[in-house]
Structure 1
Amino acid sequence: MIHEVDEVLKGLLGGGVLAGSGIDISFEAPTRDWAARRNAPVINTYLYDIREDVERRQRGRMPVHDERNVVVRRRRPPRWFRLSYLVTAWTKTPQDEHRLLSAALATLLSRELVPSAELPGPLAALGLSIPVSVAGTQTESRSLAEIWSALGGELKPSLDLVVTVPFPAHPEYDAGPPVTEGATVRLRGPEEAAPQTSERSHRPRQVGAARAAREAKVPQQRPDPR
């Protein structure tokens, strides 16, 4: 799922204000060696933290429908995880870096929720939208200063980007076939009486058939009071 989220972010940052600019989107760690190798303007989106959003955790089972809207499987609800990215701009001048950050911020602020139709592969199959938060309050245990220190580089202006993503829970369980026959009740007389049995069956009635039967029913005539 993480690599699919990377593709979603690459499409978001490459569109919007930066559409057609040719700015490269990198997911490598922004170390000193990486910074020395670059030779063109780059927006770096570094994944620095992964942790579960426990407030979204659910219990129970969820139905899985086929193209006929029939339940064919059941599965556990997905687990939601917060993927935290450090977004930085790399150019030759600070002014150009600030312009790139401003463009990235304007692009991400307008996409606070990405619908499932715009998600790839298994993410789209879950049918859930994913929230995107940018430049919010720092909630992770590691500060940005600690992250830059671990990367061995100098502190740069950055955007804290958090994408909350559902991860499917396994295994899935096959569901039983749908009920097409009604219940059958057999009645038997007392033992001292003659053995008598009767059988009554009930079949599920379709809504359309029941409605047609009511509409076709002829009302009973009342007797003439004269």
Structure 2
Amino acid sequence: MLDDLDSSLEQLLTRELPDLQSSTETHVAISFEMPIDIKQKPAINLFLYDVRENMELRSNEWSLQRRANGTAVKKRPPARVDCSYLITAWANADDPQQEHHILGEVMKLLLRYRTLPEAILQGSLKGQERLPIAVGLRPSYLQSLGEFWQAIGGRPKPALNYMVTIDVPVDEESEEFPLVLDNRIQIRQGI
């Protein structure tokens, strides 16, 4: 499921930022690896650094899905999971202006969408009842961005913190049971 989210974000970037993909000279690679030494540059790096259940969006209400054959299936709602990305731009020859330009284009794009467009969803994210919520740019779950860069052995870089909330199914297909389709009340006399 997380790989489908990565693929969906890659699809969004390539579809909505065609100028960054226009030629082999300016082709900007999209990477999901740890942001220490990106090999293919220029690049946009989306590093998934935190995955956690969103307890505020948790629902305990079961749903009843009616089937055409007169049965129903009772299911728990999917868990809502926040996926946090640290997004950095990498340029040839450490050109900070090119990095800032790329990062600025990515920022404008991500702020444009409150949910991920259905057309870019890949794999298990396709056809979900709720579209993934693109929470946008927000404070990082990282305690200190400086400590993060030091811990991975890299130099500090400008970065965007981006969070997407996805549905994660928690139940396998439940057992079918028959529905009550009509009700009859019988009244007896003489009791």
TM-score (norm 1): 0.71
Q: CA deviation at 1:70?
A: 6.9
Deviation at 1:181, TM superposition (A): 4.5
Counterpart-to-counterpart distance in 2, 1:187 and 1:64:
36
Matched, 1:4 2:4: yes
* Partner residue in 2 for 1:159: 160
Are 1:134 and 1:159, in contact at CA under 8 Å, matched by a contact in 2? Answer: no
Partner amino acid for 2:31? Answer: S
Matched residue, 2:58: 57
Q: How far apart, CA to CA, are the structure 2 residues paired with 1:162 and 1:7?
A: 15
Q: Which among 28, 31, 34 is matched to residue 23 of structure 1?
A: 28
Q: Are 1:130 and 2:122 an aligned pair?
A: no
Q: Give the aligned CA root-mean-square deviation in angstroms.
A: 2.4
The answer for unaligned runs of 5 or more in structure 2 is none
Distance 1:70 1:102 in 2: 54
Deviation at 1:48, TM superposition (A): 0.7
1:174-189 mapped onto 2 (5 Å cutoff): 174-183=175-184, 185=186, 187=188, 189=190
Aligned to 2:111: 109
How far residue 69 of structure 1 moved from its aligned partner, in angstroms, is: 10
Cα separation, 2, equivalents of 1:151 and 1:14 = 28
Paired with 1:115 and 1:12, the residues of 2 have a C-alpha distance of 8
Using a 3 Å threshold, how does the CA distance of structure 1 residues 39 and 96 change in structure 2: closer, same or farther? same
Q: Distance in 2 between matches of 1:17 and 1:105?
A: 11
Alignment of 1:163-174 (within 5 A): 163-174=164-175
Aligned equivalent of 1:76: 76
Provide the C-alpha distance between the structure 1 equivalents of 2:146 and 2:72, rounded to a whole number of angstroms.
Answer: 50
Q: For residue 158 of structure 1, report the CA deviation from its aligned partner.
A: 0.8
Partner amino acid, structure 2, of 1:113: T
SS in 1 for 2:108: helix
Q: Which runs of 5+ in 1 are unaligned?
A: 191-226
Q: State whether residues 79 and 168 of structure 1, in contact with CA within 8 Å, keep that contact through their aligned partners in structure 2.
A: yes
Q: Tell which has more relative contact order, 1 or 2 (C-alpha 8 A, sep 6+).
A: 2
- 2:125 aligned partner, one-letter code: L
Distance 1:118 1:188 in 2: 66
**1:42-61 per-position Cα deviation (integer Å, ceiling 9, x unaligned):** 11100111111110111131
Deviation at 1:63, TM superposition (A): 2.3
Q: How many residues align?
A: 184
Q: How far 1:40 sits from its partner (Å)? A: 2.8
Contact 2:79 2:168 in 1 (8 A): yes
Question: Alignment identity in percent?
Answer: 33
Q: CA deviation at 1:108?
A: 1.0
CA distance in 2, matches of 1:73, 1:159: 42
Please give the secondary structure, in 2, of the residue aligned with 1:113.
coil
- Distance in structure 2 (CA, Å) of the matches to 1:26 and 1:82: 20
